[in-house]
Structure 1
Amino acid sequence: MQKLIPSTIEAGADLRQRNRHPLDAIFAPKTVAIIGATEKPDSVGRTVLWNLISNPFGGTVFPVNPKRSSVLGIKAYPNIATVPEPVDLAVVVTPAVTVPGIIRECAAVGVKGTIIISAGFKETGAAGIELEQQILAVQASSKMRIIGPNCLGIMSPITGLNATFAPHTALPGSVGFISQSGALCTSILDWSRRENVGFSAFISIGSMLDVNWGDLIDYLGDDPHTKSIVIYMESIGDARSFLSAAREVALTKPIIVIKAGRTTAAAQAAASHTGALSSRDEVLDAAFRRCGVLRVNSIDDLFNMAEVLAKQPRPKGKRLTILTNAGGPGVIATDALIAQGGELAELAPDTIAALNQILPPQWSHHNPIDILGDAEPDRYAKALEIAAQDPNSDGLLVILTPQSMTDPTQTAERLKSYIDKNQQAIASKIGMPILASWMGGADIATGEKILNCAHVSTFAFPDTAARVFNYMWQYSYNLRGLYETPTLLAGDSGILHRAGAEEIIYKARQQHRTILTEWESKQLLAAYGIPTVETYIATNIEEAVALAEAIAYPVVLKLFSETMTHKTDVGGVQLNLHDADAVRSAYQAIKSAVCEKVGAEHFIGVTVQPMISLDGYELIIGSSIDPQFGPVLLFGTGGQLVEVFRDRALALPPLNSTLARRMMEQTQIYQALKGVRGRPSVDLASLEQLLVRFSQLIIEQRWIKEIDINPLLAKPGQDNNFIALDARVVLHESTTTDELPKLAIRPYPTQYVSYWQLKDGTNVTIRPIRPEDEPLMIQFHHSLSEESVYLRYAHVTKLSYRTSHERLTRICFIDYDREIALVTEYEDPQTQVRQIIGVGRLSKLHQSNEAEFALVVSDRYQGQGLGTQLLQQLLQIGRDEKLSRMTADILPDNIAMQHLCKKLGLHVFCDSQEAMVKAEIELQTKSEA
């Protein structure tokens, strides 16, 4: 199996490579029982049995039918207990009411995997839901994994396994296909055989009672036969599991999703603007971006992208060069490109000069490069060679329309020769994908085949090719977000006052309030370093006048209420008040309006604030709850017309500086924030940090249900000119924290931060690793001797590899649900220079409750007790995470590590098969697990 994250195991071989995966029982069974096998024509039981026995997969098939002694000439057994061999996979096709009992029998005899094809479960209502609960109760007490119910089944075309009732078997190939719709599976199957598309796995996942998206993405991610994963999704299910698995696998294998229900009406607007502005489909888009998944809109695009991402390098940007022998198709491609956010590459002067040398004078002299209708193969090839070297281009689309002087086949041959010769150089130096649109019918078929053999994806129409290129650069853009190193949040400990924020929320809840006052909301923001306009409370007219005099005119009066969230709706805002009389009149006007419209009980008084000049940009920052993904962040254009302009971007917390910038870049207002029409840019770096702190607020203060900062005034200039003019916060009505929505992405585990002293008295911080630690990790690797490197990796690993950006970002930007890496940080008290001096890593294994661990300490700090402390903390983390077992593989030469493990109570023994020493410890008893 392929190891997805380099060097997460510090001391030897990866257990994932030698342990049998739990889902192997389903995808690579040695024995299969068909419970409900029958000879009844056109029945599911007969079709599944026939598919299994007519496609040899290297295993044995046992029909189970209590009413027959044989089925299709094969000896049948009355129940699973009478099958003479241990069963890896049971395929259940009996009526729904019988399934819980059958699953109980399977669990009793140790069946490892089950596919429940039967329908009649939660899709039928309460009775079906109860049947599912009975199945889950049995499954929870066993190690059996279940696919379904209500599914078509699964195929492993590489081995020949066909455990479905589909009429045909999928062709073998490199695409892993997963679908929630069995009917769509059969349609895709017919299409794939016609188009000669092959699969490494073909899976109908059904209702996802047990095995879910995350499980299957992990499995296909480890499968060496799978090069890309294609998904038809109707519901997300376990959002955290999906995001966690997808983010890991997407770094090495493309994941392309088509999600049904894009036009479903959004949930009813909540009390906040954020709730009104976000829809569940947009949240799903944000989730896909966060984990590097590409979402497409059609089944055609689904497989187009699986093919092109497997064949071509990813573009580094959105600029496309179009080479064509006809102007019309070039214009069509240009329209499609720009409509979806792509750009035409601006040809460099050297490129234009070179093209002038080989093209007729009448060529277009710009992009699209129209080489005219009489272009022969040699002209195409030379023009391609020049265009592919243009430094302003990120991709190349070659269009051919069959004209009287055109030779599609020879042109394809010439392009193939050039590509065969230069593809490696182009891919490595420029990252230049080359797409082709050979337009026409039978005349261009041979040319298309030649290009496809040269790993160039071809498309019948140029607008399709342009759309595919747009998907490609969007996919690259999302993936780069997982690789870019963010900047560290400055002054964290000095800015954040979490306890003060918690106190504000606690007091409101004690008073049984779910709405914070404006004053409380601003105090909450200030606790997280978000600047707010000074705000004072007045409960009578004379207090309001006195405060206005102290602040200095002009001032603003706003309704102060514990129940109203939208003050302007009830006449609760009075602006630009220049004297005491104006303040008195404004106070009375607000009181009268509120009492008349909603009642006197909603009026407590007013807040008095200085009148701030709106000489800047009005932004909105907010958060609301999505039923599947939990808290969702919003950023965009604010002000009174926020719901009219609807210029916003959504993201899932937690954010870092890179993710905050990506969120900003998705909005129209971002272009203005960068500076427009002679106005300077706003302080974008400070705005990033403000968004990161707002994300921390949402993560840490889980009682917040909805929150808006609208407007957040952003003034041009590089001096952190941001101020929250208004804010509203709504709290959950829940009574316990267990009822609060969970974050879709696990945040930074602050509970594992600790402080410790080395033997020589040096104070250090031991904390989980952060994405921002990449520069410190580079320094750390420079501090390791060759011996330390050898003992860590079981071989000498070059420094250039260990400190490469791609590797370190994967090691630093980890999923805390899957890994906990502890770094030991020392800060020089004189220079405040920080360095990492030790690393301990705990990596959970896929599809198990076990983990591997590893340690490495900088040579200069060895012998100071740090290795012992790191391992003790890793073992405690394993217990806190409710792991059942932790293991490590250690080189026989690494006596110090063996001694350390023995000292802390681990069982250390030789593994003769691996020529390694193994250390292991049981963290839970079977009853606890």
Structure 2
Amino acid sequence: MGTKYLKRFFKPKSIVVFGASEKPGSMGGIVVHNLLDGKFPGVLMCINPEGYDNVFGVPCFKDIPDLPEMPDLAIICSPPGTVSDIIRKLGANSVKAAMILTGGLSITTNMEANTLSESVREAAKPYGIRILGPDCMGMLVPGSSMNASYSHMNIQKGKVAYIGQSGMLGTAMIDWASGQEIGFSHFLTLGGGVDVDLSSVIDYVSKDQYTHSILLQLVSVSGSARNFISALRAASRNKLVLVLKSGVFSDGVVQKSRTPGIPDEDIVYDAALRRAGVVRVETSDQLFNALETLSRMKPLRGERLAIVCNGMGPNALATDRLLKTGGQLARLSEETIAALIPVLPAGWNEKNPVDLCADATPERFAQVTEILSKDKEVDVILTIHAPTHSAPSFETADELIKVVRKSPRNILTCWMGRATAIAARNHCNSANVATFITPEEAVDAFMYMVDYRRNQEVMRQTPASYIEQNTQNHQKAKKIIADAMAERRDYLKHSEACSLLDLYDIPVQNSYYADDIDGVVELAKELGGPVAVKALHQKNIYPFSYDDQLFQRRDLVQDLNSPGDVRYATNKLAYGVSERMGEEASMGFCVQQMKRGFQSLQINVGITRDPTFGPVIVFGMGGFTVDVLADRHAMLPPMNKALAKELVKNSRIYKIIKEHSLQPERDMGQLTDMILKLSEMVVDLPHLKGLEINPLLLNKLGILAVDVAVSIGEKSELAISPYPGDLEERIALKRSGRPAVVRPIRGEDEPRHLEFYNKLSPESIRMRYFYSRGVPSHQELASWTQIDYDREMAFIVSAPSLDGKGPETLGVVRVVTDPDNIKSEFSIVIRDDLQGEGLGVILMRKAIDYCRSQHTLMIEGSTLPTNKGMQGLAMKLGFTNTFNMEEEVVDMKMMLNEPVEDWQFTRLQS
């Protein structure tokens, strides 16, 4: 539902607390006490039908009509049965935000089958009131001096936003962070999530300039998975986001995966979080260490770690952990080695990790760390201290803190031990220096930052050149599925499934079909040589149909040579199917020639559908061995070549190819191309529910799909918005008549976008960006071209270049819409040598029509007062131009759709 009215939760001017009293243990009373203790600057009121005059000095009233004013935020701590009526009364009195701390709303009432949570949702619906909770711990926002929670203590001000789904884990985090002297910009748990969801809160806090990082404790995703992924992706582009995903257990029972072909739902969550560019942690210890890292580390400039300790034992532990987790040990420069020689004892090995020896003093710790911090080959330093007489913990910490304060590098500290180490840790905490108990924890915390950096790099990889799709074949594929659905089938016949692969240029084994045993024998005679016969029936026609006799090859017989062998084996197959499922289950037989002698690698690849995240591409070892599911990897479509390669690299297949293939690049190329074709299928065929190729053979001849099964069903929505090809439009330039196409931008356009930028004059760049700037970096170009189509749109005009070197970009218009779809901000730039071709009008009308179709209320932009051409174009198209004296720009605005709710009117005026 977006961020509407969320400001009233985070920055309320007035609050009323329901159910507050001075009785011991009163949740409402605890909330009032916390609000007073936090020095909330706004108006505080209480409501309690008992008729108290005040609660801890805060005025108390019997009911909502008695309030002197309606609050921005209502906090409800009343008994479960009263909550729905309270919400209804609040809505009727135009209160737009309510936070429900009351628990127990998941139970059903005596009179109704609906849960109390559902009753609350229904009560709020007519009034548009936003609900946070129920069963949440509340919200703490130090910047607003607000502790609206039942937490046992307040929090310090910091730069990390914590968003959780567990109240108890939240209070534990507050206690731990207080002990570590770590603060937060925002701290809240969502509880039952009746209305305000993760996506909305992520969108809100990610726009906060004081929030540098987001820590998300996740049990499950409710509501739109696309909104969730979109919000995470947008947040992770500007802020480091870490996620603790729990929820493997429910009521003491391990949850089984609900996704066909995937044994563990965590595989899908991992895939979703990777696509969002965030880093996942797996334990509460890791969550605490992650918070330490988020709060006290600067952004990484690189991944090379230098390790320092007064002993090789701890150094070895840290180095071993670093290398096992894929980290990089820094190589010391010659200048650094020369500077360290006079400082370190004789016999030092002149390598990283650096051993200070047991007689190291606090001064030696500090001096070596300072020298390393000046090495251009070192990005981060981990200093590990084991307590000795020569280097007391506190004194060493004091010397190191002096170095940290003047160093541009990230310096992590580890104080091993307890009795004397606690004082050193506390000293570092007070000085805002990251500190850890063990070398392994310190390395893990460092690797969270590295993983985030790598995830962002993967997200921003420039995709390979776009390959035009075979539209005619794809239409035939849609017809195959439409015909099956017309016959009310939820599967494709084996022959149809093979045809589907063929239409997407996936090599598939020739298959022949017979209805009875005699037909199989005749086919075998015609084919000659050894054949394989598969019995088709109602179970194995579906993908990922693994019964309790996992991967038993009871429906397939191979290496049949003589007609007699074929008849005997087929008879046995038919009897087996009849015995297990009845004769009516039989769907005939498939006959194939055997493929032997090529030392083939068997692969399992396909498409499945997750109930939360929708279509998923799966990849791993294939065949019929019982451990196939142990090597199952997943990624969310749509995908580019870089993502497809990443999927293959995560599996055992990649290691086998690297070690044994004579043509590893060819093999990787064929596998990634095939995965991209499956991704195309997902986008083209929304009724495609599942597809399994098992086995897919990879050998010296290439790839070959031997067996395939396909299921179909209701349309599904991808968790990540695909390329909107339906918005492409062919045009001709006004003056020259040059043919071109107006289309949404793609990640593959990055090289051409750079060429386009380089052809702009300095004046055009200044008009577009309001200042002179240099050539954009790859990171900037990736952000411009690899866009989230749910949140922004960029249309380019692309045409074949006049020199015949391929397409070139002539102009671009970009519109970025806020999460609530109120306003969309546009920007446009046309190549200087193409002025007068009508591209400005074409692109602006395309942007206007798009925003109007998305029900955006207003489109707006700004330009310099000297840019008379843009101002004239805007007026011609119907914009209203006004001079903004504060910003010294001309604002251009156009209403596209009329607001229908009060909050929309308010937001338009802000």
| Alignment partner of 1:823 is 2:791 | no
Letter in structure 2 aligned against 1:838: G
Taking the aligned partners of 2:562 and 2:741, their CA distance within structure 1 comes to 55
2:230 aligns with one of 235, 240, 244: 244
1:494-531, Cα deviation, whole Å (9 max, x unpaired): 38822121122122222222232322212112222222
In the other structure, the counterpart of 1:150 is 135
Q: Does the 8 Å contact 1:908/1:920 carry over to 2?
A: no
Letter in structure 1 aligned against 2:559: N
Farther-moved stretch of structure 1 (546-555 vs 191-200): 546-555
In the other structure, the counterpart of 1:430 is none
Farther-moved stretch of structure 1 (154-163 vs 373-382): 373-382
Using the TM superposition, give the Cα deviation of residue 355 of structure 1 relative to its aligned residue in structure 2, in angstroms: 6.7
Taking the aligned partners of 1:119 and 1:221, their CA distance within structure 2 comes to 28
Q: Does the 8 Å contact 1:674/1:682 carry over to 2?
A: no
SS in 2 for 1:513: coil
SS in 2 for 1:838: strand
SS in 1 for 2:201: helix
Farther-moved stretch of structure 1 (504-513 vs 103-112): 103-112
| Alignment partner of 1:835 is 2:774 | no
Using the TM superposition, give the Cα deviation of residue 843 of structure 1 relative to its aligned residue in structure 2, in angstroms: 1.5
1:43 aligns with one of 20, 26, 30: 26
1:557-706 to 2 correspondences below 5 Å: 557-561=533-537, 564-565=540-541, 569=552, 571-578=554-561, 582-613=565-596, 614-641=598-625, 643-644=627-628, 646-676=630-660, 680-706=664-690
**Cα gap change, 1:286 to 1:563, in 2 (>3 Å):** closer
SS in 1 for 2:497: helix
Query: TM-score, with normalisation over the residues of structure 1?
Result: 0.87
| Alignment partner of 1:919 is 2:870 | no
**Cα gap change, 1:325 to 1:891, in 2 (>3 Å):** same
| Alignment partner of 1:255 is 2:241 | yes
In the other structure, the counterpart of 1:505 is 481
Letter in structure 1 aligned against 2:774: L
In the other structure, the counterpart of 1:13 is none
Letter in structure 1 aligned against 2:748: E
Q: Does the 8 Å contact 1:152/1:206 carry over to 2?
A: yes
Taking the aligned partners of 2:892 and 2:535, their CA distance within structure 1 comes to 68
2:415 aligns with one of 438, 443, 446: 438
Using the TM superposition, give the Cα deviation of residue 712 of structure 1 relative to its aligned residue in structure 2, in angstroms: 1.7
**Cα gap change, 1:561 to 1:27, in 2 (>3 Å):** same
Taking the aligned partners of 1:20 and 1:633, their CA distance within structure 2 comes to 32
SS in 2 for 1:277: coil
Taking the aligned partners of 1:666 and 1:559, their CA distance within structure 2 comes to 34
Taking the aligned partners of 1:395 and 1:796, their CA distance within structure 2 comes to 34
SS in 2 for 1:879: helix
**Identity %, equivalent residues:** 33
Farther-moved stretch of structure 1 (551-560 vs 778-787): 551-560
1:729 aligns with one of 691, 710, 723: 710
In the other structure, the counterpart of 2:187 is 202
Letter in structure 2 aligned against 1:148: G
1:325-474 to 2 correspondences below 5 Å: 325-337=310-322, 340-342=325-327, 359-360=344-345, 363=348, 368-377=353-362, 379-380=364-365, 384=369, 395-409=380-394, 411-412=396-397, 415-416=400-401, 419=404, 423-424=407-408, 427=409, 433-444=410-421, 447-448=424-425, 456-474=433-451
| Alignment partner of 1:62 is 2:39 | no
Using the TM superposition, give the Cα deviation of residue 833 of structure 1 relative to its aligned residue in structure 2, in angstroms: 0.9
Q: Does the 8 Å contact 1:853/1:888 carry over to 2?
A: yes
| Alignment partner of 1:290 is 2:275 | yes
Using the TM superposition, give the Cα deviation of residue 585 of structure 1 relative to its aligned residue in structure 2, in angstroms: 4.9
In the other structure, the counterpart of 2:308 is 323
1:750-899 to 2 correspondences below 5 Å: 750-759=725-734, 760-793=736-769, 795-800=770-775, 803-828=776-801, 831=804, 833-899=806-872
Letter in structure 1 aligned against 2:268: V
Q: Does the 8 Å contact 1:115/1:148 carry over to 2?
A: yes
1:188-240, Cα deviation, whole Å (9 max, x unpaired): 33333333221211213221111111111111111122222222222222322
Using the TM superposition, give the Cα deviation of residue 705 of structure 1 relative to its aligned residue in structure 2, in angstroms: 2.2
**Cα gap change, 1:30 to 1:267, in 2 (>3 Å):** closer
Using the TM superposition, give the Cα deviation of residue 626 of structure 1 relative to its aligned residue in structure 2, in angstroms: 1.8
Letter in structure 1 aligned against 2:741: T
In the other structure, the counterpart of 1:299 is 284
Letter in structure 2 aligned against 1:261: G
In structure 1, runs of 5+ residues without a counterpart are 1-18, 428-432, 735-739
Taking the aligned partners of 1:887 and 1:494, their CA distance within structure 2 comes to 38
Farther-moved stretch of structure 1 (586-595 vs 386-395): 386-395
**Paired residues, number:** 887
| Alignment partner of 1:165 is 2:128 | no
Using the TM superposition, give the Cα deviation of residue 81 of structure 1 relative to its aligned residue in structure 2, in angstroms: 4.2
1:114 aligns with one of 84, 89, 98: 98
Taking the aligned partners of 2:75 and 2:751, their CA distance within structure 1 comes to 52
SS in 1 for 2:721: coil
Q: RCO greater where, 1 or 2, for CA within 8 Å and sep 6 or more?
A: 1
Q: Does the 8 Å contact 1:314/1:476 carry over to 2?
A: no
Taking the aligned partners of 1:884 and 1:55, their CA distance within structure 2 comes to 39
In the other structure, the counterpart of 2:724 is 749
Using the TM superposition, give the Cα deviation of residue 886 of structure 1 relative to its aligned residue in structure 2, in angstroms: 2.7
Taking the aligned partners of 1:654 and 1:326, their CA distance within structure 2 comes to 50
In the other structure, the counterpart of 2:459 is 482
Using the TM superposition, give the Cα deviation of residue 862 of structure 1 relative to its aligned residue in structure 2, in angstroms: 2.8
Q: Does the 8 Å contact 1:570/1:593 carry over to 2?
A: no
Letter in structure 2 aligned against 1:174: K
SS in 2 for 1:158: helix
Using the TM superposition, give the Cα deviation of residue 360 of structure 1 relative to its aligned residue in structure 2, in angstroms: 4.3
**Cα gap change, 1:638 to 1:864, in 2 (>3 Å):** same
Farther-moved stretch of structure 1 (845-854 vs 249-258): 845-854
Using the TM superposition, give the Cα deviation of residue 310 of structure 1 relative to its aligned residue in structure 2, in angstroms: 4.1
Taking the aligned partners of 1:266 and 1:609, their CA distance within structure 2 comes to 41
Letter in structure 1 aligned against 2:480: I
Taking the aligned partners of 2:591 and 2:673, their CA distance within structure 1 comes to 29
Query: TM-score, with normalisation over the residues of structure 2?
Result: 0.88
SS in 1 for 2:435: coil
Using the TM superposition, give the Cα deviation of residue 848 of structure 1 relative to its aligned residue in structure 2, in angstroms: 4.8
Taking the aligned partners of 2:885 and 2:329, their CA distance within structure 1 comes to 60
In structure 2, runs of 5+ residues without a counterpart are 905-910
Taking the aligned partners of 2:705 and 2:257, their CA distance within structure 1 comes to 23
Using the TM superposition, give the Cα deviation of residue 798 of structure 1 relative to its aligned residue in structure 2, in angstroms: 0.9
SS in 1 for 2:861: strand
Taking the aligned partners of 2:631 and 2:737, their CA distance within structure 1 comes to 55
Q: CA RMSD in A?
A: 3.5
In the other structure, the counterpart of 1:213 is 198
1:534 aligns with one of 510, 524, 538: 510
Letter in structure 2 aligned against 1:772: E
Using the TM superposition, give the Cα deviation of residue 726 of structure 1 relative to its aligned residue in structure 2, in angstroms: 1.4
SS in 2 for 1:47: helix
**Cα gap change, 1:321 to 1:792, in 2 (>3 Å):** closer
Taking the aligned partners of 2:645 and 2:377, their CA distance within structure 1 comes to 24
In the other structure, the counterpart of 1:100 is 84
Using the TM superposition, give the Cα deviation of residue 783 of structure 1 relative to its aligned residue in structure 2, in angstroms: 2.4
**Cα gap change, 1:846 to 1:593, in 2 (>3 Å):** closer
1:732-760, Cα deviation, whole Å (9 max, x unpaired): 2x4xxxxx443222222222222222213
Taking the aligned partners of 1:590 and 1:231, their CA distance within structure 2 comes to 53
In the other structure, the counterpart of 2:211 is 226
Farther-moved stretch of structure 1 (773-782 vs 506-515): 506-515
Taking the aligned partners of 1:927 and 1:188, their CA distance within structure 2 comes to 38
**Cα gap change, 1:138 to 1:349, in 2 (>3 Å):** same
Q: Does the 8 Å contact 2:512/2:592 carry over to 1?
A: yes
